[in-house]
Amino acid sequence: MKLLKIWIVVALCISTAVAKNYGQVNGEAVTSQDIENMMKNFPKLGQFDKLKDDQQKIIIDQAIDSKLSKQLAVKNKIPQTKLYKDSLKAIEDKLLVEVWMKITHDSIKVSASEIKAHYNKNKKEYITNHEIKARHIILKTKKEADGVVKLLQKENEATLQKTFINLAVKRSIGPTASNGGSLGWFDKNKMLKSFWDVCVSLKQNQFATTPLKTEFGYHIIYVDGVQPAYVVSLADASKDIKEKLKGIKFQKKISKDIKTFRQKSNIKRY
Protein backbone atom coordinates (compact mmCIF):
# COMPACT_ATOMS: atom_id res chain seq x y z
CA MET A 1 0.00 0.00 0.00
CA LYS A 2 2.83 2.38 0.87
CA LEU A 3 4.46 1.68 -2.53
CA LEU A 4 1.14 2.37 -4.26
CA LYS A 5 0.85 5.75 -2.53
CA ILE A 6 4.35 6.66 -3.67
CA TRP A 7 3.49 5.81 -7.28
CA ILE A 8 0.30 7.89 -7.04
CA VAL A 9 2.31 10.89 -5.80
CA VAL A 10 4.87 10.43 -8.60
CA ALA A 11 2.10 10.17 -11.20
CA LEU A 12 0.45 13.33 -9.91
CA CYS A 13 3.78 15.17 -10.06
CA ILE A 14 4.35 14.06 -13.65
CA SER A 15 0.80 15.01 -14.58
CA THR A 16 1.25 18.44 -13.03
CA ALA A 17 4.54 18.94 -14.88
CA VAL A 18 3.04 17.97 -18.22
CA ALA A 19 -0.16 20.00 -17.76
CA LYS A 20 1.55 23.17 -16.57
CA ASN A 21 -0.67 26.23 -16.43
CA TYR A 22 0.52 29.78 -17.03
CA GLY A 23 -2.51 31.64 -15.74
CA GLN A 24 -6.29 31.88 -15.85
CA VAL A 25 -8.77 33.94 -17.83
CA ASN A 26 -12.17 34.13 -16.14
CA GLY A 27 -11.57 30.70 -14.63
CA GLU A 28 -10.26 29.12 -17.83
CA ALA A 29 -6.66 27.90 -17.60
CA VAL A 30 -3.92 29.10 -19.92
CA THR A 31 -2.23 25.74 -20.48
CA SER A 32 1.07 24.56 -21.88
CA GLN A 33 -0.90 23.47 -24.96
CA ASP A 34 -2.11 27.07 -25.42
CA ILE A 35 1.49 28.26 -25.21
CA GLU A 36 2.61 25.59 -27.67
CA ASN A 37 -0.11 26.63 -30.12
CA MET A 38 0.91 30.27 -29.79
CA MET A 39 4.59 29.40 -30.38
CA LYS A 40 3.65 27.90 -33.76
CA ASN A 41 3.09 31.47 -34.92
CA PHE A 42 6.75 32.24 -34.16
CA PRO A 43 8.79 29.26 -35.44
CA LYS A 44 12.05 31.23 -35.41
CA LEU A 45 11.86 31.77 -31.65
CA GLY A 46 12.48 28.09 -30.91
CA GLN A 47 11.35 26.53 -27.61
CA PHE A 48 9.31 28.55 -25.13
CA ASP A 49 11.40 27.39 -22.14
CA LYS A 50 14.54 28.76 -23.80
CA LEU A 51 13.11 32.28 -24.22
CA LYS A 52 14.02 35.21 -22.01
CA ASP A 53 11.56 36.21 -19.29
CA ASP A 54 10.28 39.26 -21.19
CA GLN A 55 9.77 37.16 -24.34
CA GLN A 56 7.87 34.52 -22.38
CA LYS A 57 5.66 37.24 -20.92
CA ILE A 58 4.78 38.47 -24.43
CA ILE A 59 3.82 34.94 -25.52
CA ILE A 60 1.73 34.36 -22.39
CA ASP A 61 -0.02 37.73 -22.87
CA GLN A 62 -0.87 36.79 -26.46
CA ALA A 63 -2.25 33.44 -25.27
CA ILE A 64 -4.36 35.37 -22.74
CA ASP A 65 -5.61 37.69 -25.50
CA SER A 66 -6.54 34.64 -27.53
CA LYS A 67 -8.59 33.29 -24.60
CA LEU A 68 -10.27 36.68 -24.15
CA SER A 69 -11.13 36.81 -27.87
CA LYS A 70 -12.69 33.35 -27.72
CA GLN A 71 -14.67 34.18 -24.59
CA LEU A 72 -15.91 37.44 -26.13
CA ALA A 73 -17.07 35.51 -29.17
CA VAL A 74 -19.03 33.12 -26.95
CA LYS A 75 -20.42 36.04 -24.92
CA ASN A 76 -21.65 37.64 -28.14
CA LYS A 77 -23.37 34.33 -29.07
CA ILE A 78 -21.23 33.80 -32.18
CA PRO A 79 -21.61 29.99 -31.97
CA GLN A 80 -25.36 30.48 -32.50
CA THR A 81 -24.98 32.47 -35.72
CA LYS A 82 -25.61 30.98 -39.16
CA LEU A 83 -22.21 32.18 -40.39
CA TYR A 84 -20.43 30.29 -37.60
CA LYS A 85 -22.44 27.11 -38.11
CA ASP A 86 -21.91 27.18 -41.89
CA SER A 87 -18.19 27.84 -41.46
CA LEU A 88 -17.87 25.05 -38.90
CA LYS A 89 -19.69 22.65 -41.22
CA ALA A 90 -17.31 23.51 -44.07
CA ILE A 91 -14.29 22.93 -41.80
CA GLU A 92 -15.71 19.62 -40.58
CA ASP A 93 -16.41 18.44 -44.14
CA LYS A 94 -12.87 19.30 -45.24
CA LEU A 95 -11.37 17.65 -42.16
CA LEU A 96 -13.40 14.48 -42.74
CA VAL A 97 -11.99 14.12 -46.24
CA GLU A 98 -8.43 14.91 -45.14
CA VAL A 99 -8.54 12.36 -42.29
CA TRP A 100 -10.07 9.73 -44.59
CA MET A 101 -7.32 10.31 -47.14
CA LYS A 102 -4.58 10.20 -44.50
CA ILE A 103 -5.88 6.96 -43.00
CA THR A 104 -6.19 5.49 -46.51
CA HIS A 105 -2.68 6.62 -47.44
CA ASP A 106 -1.17 5.24 -44.22
CA SER A 107 -2.86 1.88 -44.77
CA ILE A 108 -1.24 1.30 -48.17
CA LYS A 109 1.64 -1.16 -48.18
CA VAL A 110 4.51 -1.43 -50.63
CA SER A 111 6.55 -4.62 -50.56
CA ALA A 112 10.30 -4.98 -51.00
CA SER A 113 9.69 -7.03 -54.14
CA GLU A 114 7.60 -4.21 -55.65
CA ILE A 115 10.37 -1.73 -54.91
CA LYS A 116 12.99 -3.98 -56.49
CA ALA A 117 10.83 -4.63 -59.57
CA HIS A 118 10.31 -0.89 -60.10
CA TYR A 119 14.03 -0.24 -59.71
CA ASN A 120 15.02 -2.91 -62.22
CA LYS A 121 12.40 -1.75 -64.71
CA ASN A 122 13.42 1.91 -64.48
CA LYS A 123 17.19 1.75 -63.98
CA LYS A 124 17.80 4.62 -66.37
CA GLU A 125 16.06 6.92 -63.87
CA TYR A 126 18.72 6.08 -61.29
CA ILE A 127 21.75 6.86 -63.42
CA THR A 128 23.11 10.32 -62.66
CA ASN A 129 24.97 12.12 -65.40
CA HIS A 130 28.55 13.32 -65.22
CA GLU A 131 28.24 16.80 -63.72
CA ILE A 132 30.61 19.70 -63.31
CA LYS A 133 30.44 22.79 -61.13
CA ALA A 134 32.19 25.71 -62.81
CA ARG A 135 32.74 29.45 -62.92
CA HIS A 136 33.72 31.74 -65.74
CA ILE A 137 34.94 35.24 -66.39
CA ILE A 138 33.75 36.82 -69.66
CA LEU A 139 35.80 39.58 -71.25
CA LYS A 140 35.28 41.57 -74.44
CA THR A 141 38.71 41.06 -76.03
CA LYS A 142 41.34 38.35 -76.12
CA LYS A 143 43.90 40.84 -74.86
CA GLU A 144 41.85 41.45 -71.73
CA ALA A 145 41.32 37.72 -71.27
CA ASP A 146 45.03 36.95 -71.64
CA GLY A 147 45.76 39.63 -69.03
CA VAL A 148 43.42 37.99 -66.53
CA VAL A 149 44.94 34.56 -67.26
CA LYS A 150 48.39 35.96 -66.37
CA LEU A 151 47.03 37.26 -63.06
CA LEU A 152 45.52 33.86 -62.24
CA GLN A 153 48.75 32.05 -63.11
CA LYS A 154 50.46 33.91 -60.27
CA GLU A 155 48.17 32.27 -57.71
CA ASN A 156 48.78 29.02 -55.88
CA GLU A 157 46.23 26.26 -55.30
CA ALA A 158 45.13 27.70 -51.96
CA THR A 159 44.36 31.20 -53.26
CA LEU A 160 43.24 30.49 -56.85
CA GLN A 161 39.53 30.15 -56.26
CA LYS A 162 39.26 33.29 -54.14
CA THR A 163 41.21 35.33 -56.69
CA PHE A 164 39.12 33.96 -59.54
CA ILE A 165 35.90 34.96 -57.74
CA ASN A 166 37.21 38.46 -57.04
CA LEU A 167 38.25 38.95 -60.66
CA ALA A 168 34.88 37.65 -61.88
CA VAL A 169 33.08 40.21 -59.72
CA LYS A 170 35.33 43.08 -60.81
CA ARG A 171 36.09 42.26 -64.45
CA SER A 172 33.50 39.89 -65.95
CA ILE A 173 30.88 41.36 -68.30
CA GLY A 174 28.63 38.31 -67.91
CA PRO A 175 25.36 38.09 -65.89
CA THR A 176 27.01 35.81 -63.31
CA ALA A 177 29.66 38.38 -62.36
CA SER A 178 27.98 39.37 -59.08
CA ASN A 179 27.95 35.70 -58.07
CA GLY A 180 31.66 35.25 -58.67
CA GLY A 181 31.02 33.84 -62.13
CA SER A 182 29.31 30.75 -60.71
CA LEU A 183 27.31 28.57 -63.10
CA GLY A 184 26.47 25.96 -60.48
CA TRP A 185 26.24 22.27 -61.36
CA PHE A 186 25.43 21.20 -64.93
CA ASP A 187 25.83 18.26 -67.30
CA LYS A 188 26.70 18.17 -71.00
CA ASN A 189 23.04 18.50 -71.98
CA LYS A 190 22.78 21.90 -70.32
CA MET A 191 25.92 23.54 -71.69
CA LEU A 192 27.46 24.54 -75.02
CA LYS A 193 29.56 21.65 -76.36
CA SER A 194 32.67 23.81 -76.71
CA PHE A 195 32.24 25.02 -73.10
CA TRP A 196 31.65 21.48 -71.83
CA ASP A 197 34.70 20.17 -73.67
CA VAL A 198 36.90 22.70 -71.89
CA CYS A 199 35.37 21.82 -68.52
CA VAL A 200 35.97 18.07 -68.84
CA SER A 201 39.61 18.72 -69.71
CA LEU A 202 40.09 20.35 -66.28
CA LYS A 203 40.40 18.91 -62.80
CA GLN A 204 38.84 20.41 -59.70
CA ASN A 205 40.41 23.77 -58.75
CA GLN A 206 41.93 24.25 -62.21
CA PHE A 207 41.27 26.91 -64.84
CA ALA A 208 41.74 26.94 -68.60
CA THR A 209 44.73 29.02 -69.61
CA THR A 210 43.35 29.38 -73.14
CA PRO A 211 40.22 31.57 -73.19
CA LEU A 212 37.19 30.14 -75.02
CA LYS A 213 35.74 32.45 -77.68
CA THR A 214 31.93 32.51 -78.08
CA GLU A 215 29.38 35.04 -79.31
CA PHE A 216 29.35 36.47 -75.77
CA GLY A 217 33.08 37.16 -75.57
CA TYR A 218 36.18 35.39 -74.25
CA HIS A 219 35.53 32.95 -71.37
CA ILE A 220 38.10 31.98 -68.77
CA ILE A 221 36.73 28.80 -67.20
CA TYR A 222 37.41 27.49 -63.69
CA VAL A 223 36.17 24.15 -62.31
CA ASP A 224 34.85 24.14 -58.74
CA GLY A 225 33.91 20.47 -58.59
CA VAL A 226 33.46 17.26 -60.56
CA GLN A 227 30.81 14.57 -60.00
CA PRO A 228 31.38 11.50 -62.19
CA ALA A 229 28.35 9.62 -63.52
CA TYR A 230 27.15 6.89 -61.16
CA VAL A 231 24.21 4.56 -60.56
CA VAL A 232 22.09 5.13 -57.45
CA SER A 233 21.91 1.81 -55.60
CA LEU A 234 18.65 0.04 -54.82
CA ALA A 235 19.28 0.62 -51.12
CA ASP A 236 19.67 4.38 -51.63
CA ALA A 237 16.70 4.61 -53.99
CA SER A 238 14.33 2.42 -51.95
CA LYS A 239 12.84 5.16 -49.79
CA ASP A 240 11.95 7.38 -52.76
CA ILE A 241 10.63 4.43 -54.76
CA LYS A 242 8.44 3.35 -51.85
CA GLU A 243 6.90 6.81 -51.54
CA LYS A 244 6.39 7.00 -55.31
CA LEU A 245 4.65 3.62 -55.48
CA LYS A 246 2.62 4.41 -52.40
CA GLY A 247 1.43 7.63 -54.03
CA ILE A 248 0.44 5.79 -57.20
CA LYS A 249 -1.46 3.14 -55.23
CA PHE A 250 -3.11 5.82 -53.13
CA GLN A 251 -4.38 7.73 -56.18
CA LYS A 252 -5.70 4.54 -57.76
CA LYS A 253 -7.46 3.44 -54.56
CA ILE A 254 -9.07 6.83 -53.94
CA SER A 255 -10.28 7.03 -57.55
CA LYS A 256 -11.60 3.45 -57.42
CA ASP A 257 -13.38 3.94 -54.08
CA ILE A 258 -15.06 7.15 -55.25
CA LYS A 259 -16.08 5.57 -58.56
CA THR A 260 -17.52 2.49 -56.81
CA PHE A 261 -19.39 4.58 -54.25
CA ARG A 262 -20.71 6.88 -57.00
CA GLN A 263 -22.19 3.89 -58.82
CA LYS A 264 -24.00 2.79 -55.67
CA SER A 265 -25.15 6.28 -54.65
CA ASN A 266 -28.44 8.03 -55.33
CA ILE A 267 -27.24 11.17 -57.15
CA LYS A 268 -29.50 13.87 -58.53
CA ARG A 269 -28.51 16.84 -60.65
CA TYR A 270 -30.48 20.10 -60.79
**Residue 215 falls inside a structural domain:** yes
| pLDDT string in tens for the chain (270-residue length) | 443 343 334 344 444 445 689 999 999 999 999 999 999 999 899 999 999 999 999 999 999 999 999 999 999 999 999 999 999 999 999 999 999 999 999 999 999 999 999 999 999 999 999 999 999 999 999 999 999 999 999 999 999 999 999 999 999 999 999 999 999 999 999 999 999 999 999 999 999 999 999 999 999 999 999 999 999 999 999 999 999 999 999 999 999 999 999 999 999 999
Domain boundary (76, 93, 117) is at 76
Kindly report the pTM of this predicted structure. Answer: 0.59
Residue 195 within any structural domain of the chain: yes
Any domain includes 58: yes
CATH number of the domain residue 149 falls in: 3.10.50.40
Residue 147 sits in the same domain as residue 221? yes
Does the residue 168 lie in any domain? yes
The pLDDT value given to residue 51 = 92
> Which one of 29, 51, 76 terminates a domain?
76
256, part of any domain: no
Question: 261 lies in a domain?
Answer: no
Query: What range defines the domain where residue 53 resides?
Result: 2-76
pLDDT at position 170 is: 97
How many domains does the chain fold into? 2
* Residue 106 within a domain: no
pLDDT at 179: 97
Q: What Å distances lie between residue 164 and 161, 185, 206, 257, CA to CA?
A: 5, 17, 10, 61
100 occurs within a structural domain = no
What pLDDT was estimated at residue 20?
83
**CATH number, domain containing residue 57:** 1.10.8
